[in-house]
């Protein structure tokens, strides 16, 4: 079978599934070294919160042995007086990695956040030992306050709107996505045949999930364009005025273009839901927001309409921890929309949730998310594991302790920016200098690169003579370089997404040269064909 026919078979796959084929090709014997900058798993880890986690575990076991100590067995700790014992523990272990962090974190939690010391440390000790079901199941009490403070700082630029955000901690951002889609459907806020707007380019599952037979939604693209610095034109945002569009799903900063929404567009969306579209549901996935200075989420700009999805995975190098959160402000239109559903629908929902509340009509959407995550009947065993919640707290506290100097943020940003500069220097092209650029990924439009370097006729030939995935296919097959097909994210066809997170600087030099060399090989083929 010739290459184009084989490529056609694989073009229907998600870029994340196509990636597996590219990796297999790049591992062929003729390729010396495979460079995989496809998936966005960072190759760094935040060390200070992890040091604190492991030291905290030692304190927790010490506390367990205070209650009962038998060979290989200890008791469930008692939090009475635990705060003071924790201070003493930090002093005794002052020279141990993590002790200073824990001491500073305790001071911040008790002082600035005003939490009770015994209650906080008791929750962390019980949590890290994992000896109880998560209670409350949505999120532990002190954990919610600390995660909320972190989201206020990172997602709201340190200036959150009035009101209180309720939080449901989840098994990563992907679980959060799944729960939100399901609960919106189960609660009659979206129905088969409804229109939803998708801000494109976007993380592929947001394109793929709505059309599944589980949902059968009709997608309306609200497109960012490369010509507009990956921002939404006013004409695109105007599509949201259509009252038949029930929801707007977006990733901010975008994936794969890695640019956050400009303040002017945020304000236009906020004005829209304040005036013409008070009923518009917004789902914003803001996992890369921490890579943009002064980032402001739509949850900060339009809190009544917005469901926030956030993941700790990329910023802290913690994809294996599976730490995500859903945030919804208590004053929100979603609960109002459920209360205004037709009587027969409300009766059905009351029946659905009747086993978990005496008055199911008063269950908030965020608590319905928790129940639905365990098919309602298992609501009593819902919730993120408590050791995961402890790690989430420590990650959050690192940022709260660092809010003045932002040393960790500067380091993480410096890592990806240097890789970005190395890639484009090796490519021999000007990297896009964009405002609000997270720089976690970069999108290279191969057609535009071909046109800029060798003219429009060559670029048109590339598009007409080859399948859209041909460039990433040959990069893997001939150069051992695995990159993602940008078209699978609704970026331009024959564009490529390069993750700047998971390889070292010198590797991006090889990737840039590999892209440039392959483009030259296409040029030779074009000249020969002429």
As a dihedral over the C-alpha atoms of residue 263, residue 266, residue 267, residue 271, rounded to 10 degrees, the angle is 180
Contact 250, 199 (CB under 8 A): yes
Sign of CA dihedral 8, 9, 10, 14: positive
What token pair was written down for 8? 């056609």
Nearest to 324 by CA among 376, 415, 385: 385
Residue listed under structure tokens 């630029």:
157
Predicted confidence at residue 33, as pLDDT, reads 83
Predicted confidence at residue 253, as pLDDT, reads 95
As a dihedral over the C-alpha atoms of residue 73, residue 79, residue 80, residue 84, rounded to 10 degrees, the angle is 100
Taking each helix axis as running N to C, give the angle between helix 3-11 and helix 15-26, from 0 to 180 degrees, rounded to the nearest 10.
140
232 in helix, strand or coil? strand
Query: Rounded CA gap, 443 and 499, in Å?
Result: 9
Burial class of residue 11 (count of CB atoms within 10 Å of its CB; 0-12, 13-18, 19+): middle
| Domains assigned to the chain | 3-32+407-529 (3.90.1150.10), 47-132 (1.10.20.110), 141-385 (3.40.640.10)
Predicted confidence at residue 88, as pLDDT, reads 98
What are the b/e assignments for 401-415, b being 16+ CB within 10 Å?
Answer: beeeeeebbeebbeb
Burial class of residue 66 (count of CB atoms within 10 Å of its CB; 0-12, 13-18, 19+): middle
What token pair was written down for 189? 């806020």
Residue listed under structure tokens 């900063």:
253
Contact 120, 84 (CB under 8 A): no
Contact 355, 376 (CB under 8 A): yes
116 in helix, strand or coil? coil
Predicted confidence at residue 39, as pLDDT, reads 86
Query: Rounded CA gap, 261 and 231, in Å?
Result: 6
Predicted confidence at residue 11, as pLDDT, reads 86
The conformational region for residue 463 under phi > 0 = left, psi -120 to 50 = alpha, else beta, is alpha
259 in helix, strand or coil? strand
As a dihedral over the C-alpha atoms of residue 171, residue 174, residue 180, residue 185, rounded to 10 degrees, the angle is -120
Contact 281, 272 (CB under 8 A): no
Predicted confidence at residue 265, as pLDDT, reads 96
Strand partners, 498: 442
514 in helix, strand or coil? helix
pTM recorded for the entire structure? 0.95
Burial class of residue 489 (count of CB atoms within 10 Å of its CB; 0-12, 13-18, 19+): buried
Q: Which residues contact 83 (CB under 8 A, 6 or more apart)?
A: 106, 110, 116, 117, 118, 120, 121
Query: Rounded CA gap, 195 and 244, in Å?
Result: 6
What token pair was written down for 214? 């589980």
DSSP-derived secondary structure letter, 170: E
DSSP-derived secondary structure letter, 440: S
Predicted confidence at residue 117, as pLDDT, reads 98
Model confidence over 9-57: pLDDT tens digits?
888 888 888 888 898 888 877 767 899 999 889 999 999 999 999 999 9
Query: Rounded CA gap, 414 and 277, in Å?
Result: 40
Mind giving me the DSSP string for 172-190? Answer: HHHHHHHHHHHHHHHTTSS
Contact 251, 224 (CB under 8 A): no
Predicted confidence at residue 106, as pLDDT, reads 98
Query: Rounded CA gap, 406 and 14, in Å?
Result: 37
The upper half-sphere exposure of residue 397, i.e. CA atoms within 13 Å in the direction of its Cβ, equals 32
Nearest to 123 by CA among 78, 180, 62, 163: 78
Residue-level pLDDT, tens digit, the chain, 530 residues: 478 888 888 888 888 888 888 988 888 777 678 999 998 899 999 999 999 999 999 999 999 999 999 999 999 999 999 999 999 999 999 999 999 999 999 999 999 999 999 999 999 999 999 999 999 999 999 999 999 999 999 999 989 999 999 999 999 999 999 999 999 999 999 999 999 999 999 988 898 999 888 899 999 999 999 889 999 999 999 999 999 999 999 999 999 999 999 999 999 999 999 999 999 999 999 999 999 999 999 999 999 999 999 999 999 999 999 999 999 999 999 999 999 999 999 999 999 999 999 999 999 999 999 999 999 999 999 999 999 999 999 999 999 999 889 999 999 999 999 999 999 999 999 888 888 899 999 999 999 999 999 999 999 999 999 999 999 999 999 999 999 999 889 989 999 999 999 999 999 999 999 999 999 999 999 999 87
User: What spatial distance separates the first Cα and last Cα of the chain, rounded to whole Å?
Assistant: 25
Predicted confidence at residue 435, as pLDDT, reads 80
Strand partners, 328: 166
Predicted confidence at residue 313, as pLDDT, reads 96
Query: Rounded CA gap, 345 and 361, in Å?
Result: 11
Contact 195, 189 (CB under 8 A): no
Query: Rounded CA gap, 18 and 8, in Å?
Result: 11
């Amino acid at each position: 079978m010739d290459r184009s026919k084989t490529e056609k078979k694989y073009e229907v796959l998600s870029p994340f599934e196509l990636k597996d084929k590219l990796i297999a090709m790049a591992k062929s014997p003729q390729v010396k070294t495979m460079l995989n900058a496809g998936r966005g798993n960072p190759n760094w880890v935040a060390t200070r919160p992890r040091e604190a986690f492991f030291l905290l575990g030692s304190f927790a076991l010490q506390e367990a042995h205070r209650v009962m100590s038998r060979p290989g067995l200890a008791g469930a700790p008692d939090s009475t007086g635990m705060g003071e014992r924790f201070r003493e523990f930090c002093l005794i272990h002052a020279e141990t990695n993590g002790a200073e962090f824990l001491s500073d974190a305790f001071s911040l939690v008790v002082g600035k956040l005003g939490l009770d010391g015994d209650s906080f440390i008791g929750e962390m000790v019980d949590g890290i030992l994992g000896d109880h079901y998560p209670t409350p199941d949505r999120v532990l009490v002190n954990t919610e306050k600390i995660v909320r403070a972190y989201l206020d700082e990172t997602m709201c630029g340190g200036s959150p709107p009035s009101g209180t955000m309720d939080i449901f901690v989840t098994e990563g951002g992907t679980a959060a996505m799944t729960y939100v889609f399901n609960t919106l459907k189960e609660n009659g806020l979206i129905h088969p045949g409804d229109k939803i707007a998708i801000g494109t380019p976007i993380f592929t599952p947001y394109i793929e999930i709505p059309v599944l037979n589980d949902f059968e939604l009709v997608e309306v693209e609200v497109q960012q364009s490369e010509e507009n610095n990956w921002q939404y034109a006013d004409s695109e945002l105007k599509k949201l005025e259509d009252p038949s569009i029930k929801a707007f799903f977006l990733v901010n900063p975008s994936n794969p273009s890695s640019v956050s929404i400009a303040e002017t567009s945020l304000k236009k969306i906020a004005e829209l839901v304040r005036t013409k579209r008070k009923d518009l549901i917004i789902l914003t996935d803001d996992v890369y927001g921490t890579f943009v200075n002064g980032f402001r989420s739509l949850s900060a700009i339009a809190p009544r309409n917005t469901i926030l999805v956030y993941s700790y995975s990329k910023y802290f190098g913690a994809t294996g921890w599976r730490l995500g959160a859903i945030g919804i402000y208590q004053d929100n239109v979603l609960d109002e929309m459920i209360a205004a559903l037709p009587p027969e629908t409300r009766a059905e929902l009351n029946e659905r949730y009747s086993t978990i509340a005496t008055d199911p009509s008063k269950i908030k959407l965020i608590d319905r998310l928790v129940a639905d995550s365990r098919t309602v009947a298992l609501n009593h065993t819902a919730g993120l594991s408590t050791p995961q919640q402890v790690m989430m707290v420590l990650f959050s506290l690192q940022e709260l302790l660092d809010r003045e100097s932002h040393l960790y943020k500067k380091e993480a940003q410096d890592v990806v920016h240097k890789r970005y500069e190395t890639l484009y220097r090796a490519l021999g092209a000007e990297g896009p200098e964009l405002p609000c650029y997270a720089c976690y990924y970069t999108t290279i439009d191969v057609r535009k690169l071909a046109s800029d370097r060798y003219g429009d006729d060559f670029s048109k030939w590339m598009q007409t003579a080859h399948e859209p995935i041909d460039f990433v296919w040959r990069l893997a097959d001939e150069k051992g370089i695995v990159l993602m097909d940008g078209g699978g994210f609704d970026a331009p066809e024959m564009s490529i997404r390069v993750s700047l997170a998971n390889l070292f600087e010198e590797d991006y030099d090889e990737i840039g040269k590999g892209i440039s060399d392959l483009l030259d090989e296409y040029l030779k083929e074009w000249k020969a064909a002429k």
